[in-house]
Amino acid sequence: MGSEKVMKVLLAPDKFKGSLTAAEVAAHLGDGLLARGFTVDELPLADGGDGSVAAAIAAGFREVPVTVAAATGRPHQTQIAVSDDQAVVTAVVEVANTCGLHTLPGGRLAPLTASSAGVGQAIRHALDCGARRVVLALGGSASTDGGAGLLAALGVAFRDDSGRDIQIAGGTLNRIVTVDVTGLLDLTGIDLVIASDVANPLIGPHGAAAVYGPQKGATPDDVAALDTGLRHLVDHLTVLRPDAPELAREPGAGAAGGLGFAGLLLGGRIVSGADYFLDLLDFDNRVADCDVVITGEGRIDDQTLHGKLPAVVAQRSRPRPVVAVVGRSDLSAAAADEMGLTAVYALTDHTSGNPAADPQLSRRLLAQIAREIPLAPHRPVSSSV
């Protein structure tokens, strides 16, 4: 009679934003499960927002350091992730860790002076590393410049009425008089993938400035000025693409302050962030021989149903049971059932403290929950190899 097979658990969480990386979440859940005798496979994930480079590195991509301009221009050292062993060298470039909100000096918001130049510099470095596919992870951006900073970093010249180069930022777009695209880096043969789950157009009441500008510190007057500047930018970028006005209306063009628009101008394609990153990080192969899946994120609520990572993990893990371990849960029972979650465990239900502000407490609670939660496979466990 063969010995009973040890249950294998796939740990596939997103980050706990502001507290723990996805790799840290997986590691501390793993500590608790290993203490119970389970076999674990740790697969830290991302959905195309901040943490995407770290997830790619944890999955085997090579970490490549790069110095770029932070949101307000100061030098900032960060990293991109580059694959070594694929037929097409793939690089993951992240807005958040290049010129995102976290790069603002002292955390002071700069809605009119922040630029996306840093992510353009990171793309240039990725191409220098031999990348033929560049995955642009949008999320956590500090700027609303329509991606003009990115374009400038790739060689587009924006000039004022005196013929001088403009220091591009959201608040300077209305100064553009001429655009020279002759110096634009040749991206022929480059697969530019824009990973985002934002469906906003670039301009108008549902656009980048109106919807996301206030989160970046924009006052109502700033929002109006930024939206006017974006319209001005679109008019002038017809020199690069005559269909620029149509691209500005595309769902996702308004992502990351208009970086979605810049990516479309460069021939990029917008994809669902969560699904794309699960494919990139080989989720389907990793889940195939697992009996139970544990996913999670910092906060889960009914909006998670709409394409966020735990929902996509649950959908792609069927028929295996999927448990969510999260920082905080505002998820209704109906939404949890629709998502296909077996159970949801929140750190906040196990403490009177604030785990989001206490990473050490979060680490202890993750290991504790993993030691205690009931886990059972949905399908019979075979003793055969």
Indicate the DSSP class of residue 208: I
Looking at residue 385, its pLDDT comes to: 30
Q: Are residues 81 and 61 in contact, defined by beta-carbon separation less than 8 angstroms?
A: yes
Tens-place pLDDT, residues 175-184: 999 999 999 9
Tokens of 293: 């899946």
Which structural domains are found in the chain, ordered by start? 8-43+294-372 (3.40.50.10350), 52-274 (3.90.1510.10)
State the average pLDDT over residues 199-211.
97
What pLDDT sits at residue 305? Answer: 83
Query: What is the pLDDT averaged over residues 248-273?
Result: 96
Mean pLDDT (whole number) for 76-99: 93
φ, ψ dihedrals at 20, nearest 5°: -135, 145
**pLDDT level of residue 378 (50, 70, 90 thresholds):** low
Mean pLDDT of the chain: 94
- Mean pLDDT to the nearest integer, 80-100: 92
H-only helix segments in 200-266: 220-236, 244-248, 259-265
**In this structure, what token pair is assigned to residue 367?**
């290991």
Q: Which residues of 322-361 are buried (b: 16+ CB within 10 A; e: fewer)?
A: bbbbbbbbebeeebbeebbbbebbbbbebeeeebbeeeeb
The C-alpha atoms of residue 106 and residue 8 are separated, in whole angstroms, by: 44
pLDDT tens per residue across span 102-112:
999 998 999 99
The pTM is what? 0.90
pLDDT tens digit sequence for 113-140: 999 999 999 999 999 999 999 999 998 9
